[in-house]
């Protein structure tokens, strides 16, 4: 039976990053984020983009943005004060 695509060289076979339709997405500000801008060292703010896909799966991506207009923004690991000892 035919019907599914062949694997491309096997190289990315294990990575599921085929774009799935996003049905709901919203941005949630991470209020207890205390990371710093890696570019200028000023405290950055972070927000989490939560996407709910049409198949019911949920993915979240945290993005940091510098509070100063140095222009930096990028993916961040969510580190909060609650994780401290
Ligand atoms: Zn900055």
CA of 78 to the centre of ligand 1 (A): 17
According to DSSP, the residues that pair with 33 across neighbouring strands are: 80
Q: Is the pTM of this model over 0.95?
A: no
- CA quadruple 20, 23, 24, 27: dihedral, nearest 10: 40
Exposure b/e, 45-70, CB count within 10 A at least 16 = b? bbbbeebeeeeeeeeeebbbebeeee
How many A from CA of 54 to the centre of ligand 1?
36
pLDDT tens, 10-55? 444 455 666 778 888 999 999 888 889 999 999 999 999 999 999 9
Q: What are the domain boundaries of the chain?
A: 22-83
Cα of 41 vs centre of ligand 1, distance in Å, is 6
Band of residue 2 on the pLDDT scale cut at 50, 70, 90: low
């Amino acid at each position: 039976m035919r019907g599914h695509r062949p694997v491309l060289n096997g190289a990315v076979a294990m990575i599921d990053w085929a774009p799935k339709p996003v049905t709901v997405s919203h941005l949630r500000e991470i209020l207890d984020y205390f990371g710093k801008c890696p570019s200028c060292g000023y405290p950055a703010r972070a927000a989490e983009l939560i996407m709910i896909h049409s198949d019911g799966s949920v993915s979240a991506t945290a993005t940091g943005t510098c509070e100063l207009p140095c222009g930096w923004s990028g993916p961040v690991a969510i580190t909060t004060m609650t994780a401290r000892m």
